């Protein structure tokens, strides 16, 4: 079995993976699909992921596949089961784990970050990290469970209420998941801000009521015109650059909640206008990975109540991983799947 290893410095090498006997609670998953995440792009450029990366390592943490073999004490799974993997493994012992904030774990391990992941033929994983997918779910859609789980955690942090208005900044795969979760969560009006026409078109087809081009329209004026008030009740930023953060504050109504969801480039800064936070009584929240939301994501996918097919635009083999990374970085793609 082979995997494509990240060597650091933007370089990859496909080579034979070391195999080992399964631990009692471990499973071997034949990888069917693994999504390319913005975090993979950050790692490619030398930034850290959810934890420190120590090359050589096989990246890829948005994983689905079929159980090939199981350890002696595995009880929930059997060979042939379709599964989606939660990559994040918490220590359970540090301060943050012990106060119920394990997403901030000081000893976080992650499949596809600190240990070999899904850009390979096979992946080893603890049984605890495997969640059953319906056999009717296409496995490339099943690989979307991890980003969806992260989005669900972000929506939990945002606290969207029925009838509130939402503006999503950024129409990539994450932004379009947020559009759909906002619709399912009872938003009355959903506005998508996205410069790429095709992404705006897809956004309108999966639940956005309006789509704005921020490169040719004044986003603040458009949001106010559409809503008939000074801004949106909830703003979800899904881009990761300073301009998008600025736009998020521009469209926030008095009393608004802002979810800064994207993973920014390391060292990015935004000069916050403190008087706006005070006078508009803004609530600003961040969101880190997916604690205890993976099962909800898989249940939502299994229910077929969320559109994933329109979000998957490109497929590559793991031997062509660098091409997949560059495609994920381009405006041509929404979600790139390897496998």
Do the Cβ atoms of 150 and 171 come closer than 8 Å? no
Nearest Cα residue to 58 out of 28, 25, 90, 14: 14
Q: Which residues of 281-310 are buried (b: 16+ CB within 10 A; e: fewer)?
A: ebeeeebbbbbebbebbbebbbeeebbbee
Q: What is the pLDDT of residue 273?
A: 87
C-alpha distances out from residue 325 to 103, 128, 180, Å:
26, 29, 25
Task: Report H helices in 14-122.
Answer: 38-44, 95-98
Condensed to tens digits (0 to 9), the pLDDT of residues 182-229 reads 999 999 999 999 999 999 999 999 999 999 999 999 999 999 999 999
Report, as an integer, the average pLDDT of 104-129.
Answer: 97
Contacts of 320 (CB under 8 A, 6+ apart): none
Query: What residue ranges define each of the domains in the chain, with the CATH number in brackets?
Result: 2-144+308-338 (3.90.180.10), 149-286 (3.40.50.720)
Structure tokens at 251: 């469209």
Q: How far apart are CA 35 and CA 140, in angstroms?
A: 8
Q: What is the pLDDT of residue 48?
A: 79
Condensed to tens digits (0 to 9), the pLDDT of residues 253-286 reads 999 999 999 988 778 888 888 999 999 999 999 9
Q: What are phi and psi of 320, to 5 degrees?
A: -110, 40
Q: What is the pLDDT of residue 15?
A: 97
Q: What is the pLDDT of residue 268?
A: 83
Contacts of 241 (CB under 8 A, 6+ apart): 264, 265, 268
Q: How far apart are CA 314 and CA 301, in angstroms?
A: 20
CA trace torsion 52, 53, 59, 61 (10° rounding): -10
C-alpha distances out from residue 310 to 55, 60, 253, 333, Å:
34, 21, 31, 11
Q: Which residues of 41-60 are buried (b: 16+ CB within 10 A; e: fewer)?
A: bbbbeeeebbbebeeebbbb
Structure tokens at 234: 């909830």
Structure tokens at 331: 């405006």
Do the Cβ atoms of 77 and 130 come closer than 8 Å? yes
Q: How far apart are CA 28 and CA 21, in angstroms?
A: 10
C-alpha distances out from residue 244 to 55, 65, 193, 194, Å:
32, 35, 9, 10
Do the Cβ atoms of 37 and 62 come closer than 8 Å? yes
Give the pairing of strands 26-35 and 122-126: antiparallel
Nearest Cα residue to 30 out of 125, 136, 131: 125
Do the Cβ atoms of 233 and 192 come closer than 8 Å? no
Do the Cβ atoms of 105 and 96 come closer than 8 Å? yes
Look over the chain and give the mean of its residue pLDDT values, rounded to a whole number. Answer: 96
Condensed to tens digits (0 to 9), the pLDDT of residues 7-65 reads 999 999 999 999 999 999 999 999 999 999 999 999 999 887 778 899 999 999 999 99
Indicate if the pLDDT at residue 120 is higher than 80. Answer: yes
Calculate the CA 339 to chain-centre distance: 18
């Amino acid at each position: 079995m082979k995997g494509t290893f990240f060597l650091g410095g933007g370089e990859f090498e496909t080579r034979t993976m070391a195999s080992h006997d399964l631990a009692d609670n471990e499973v071997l998953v034949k990888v069917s699909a693994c999504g390319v995440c913005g975090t993979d792009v950050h790692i490619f450029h030398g930034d850290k992921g959810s934890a420190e990366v120590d090359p050589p390592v096989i990246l890829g943490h948005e994983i689905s596949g079929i159980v090939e073999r199981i350890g002696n004490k595995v009880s929930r799974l059997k060979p042939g089961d379709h599964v989606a993997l939660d990559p994040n493994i918490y220590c359970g012992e540090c301060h943050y784990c012990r106060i119920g904030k394990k997403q901030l774990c000081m000893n976080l391990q992650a499949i596809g970050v600190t240990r070999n992941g899904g850009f390979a033929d096979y992946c080893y994983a603890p049984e605890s990290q495997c969640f059953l997918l319906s056999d009717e779910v296409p496995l490339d859609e099943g690989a979307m469970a991890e980003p969806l789980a992260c989005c669900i955690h972000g929506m939990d942090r945002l606290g969207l209420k029925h009838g509130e208005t939402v503006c999503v900044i950024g129409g990539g795969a994450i932004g379009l998941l947020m559009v759909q979760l906002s619709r399912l969560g009872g938003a009355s009006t959903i506005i998508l801000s996205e410069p790429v026409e095709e992404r705006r078109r897809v956004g309108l087809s999966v639940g956005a009521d309006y789509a704005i081009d921020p490169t040719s329209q004044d986003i603040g004026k458009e949001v106010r015109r559409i809503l008939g008030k000074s801004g949106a009740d909830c703003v979800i930023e899904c881009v990761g650059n300073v301009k998008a953060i600025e736009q998020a504050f521009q469209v926030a109504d008095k009393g608004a909640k802002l979810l800064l969801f994207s993973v920014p480039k390391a060292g990015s800064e935004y000069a916050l206008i403190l008087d706006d936070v005070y006078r508009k009584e803004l609530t600003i929240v961040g969101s880190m990975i997916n604690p205890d939301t993976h099962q909800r994501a898989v249940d939502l996918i299994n229910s077929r109540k969320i559109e994933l097919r329109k979000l998957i635009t490109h497929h590559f083999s793991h031997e062509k991983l660098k091409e997949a990374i560059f495609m994920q970085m381009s405006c041509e793609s929404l979600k790139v799947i390897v496998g």
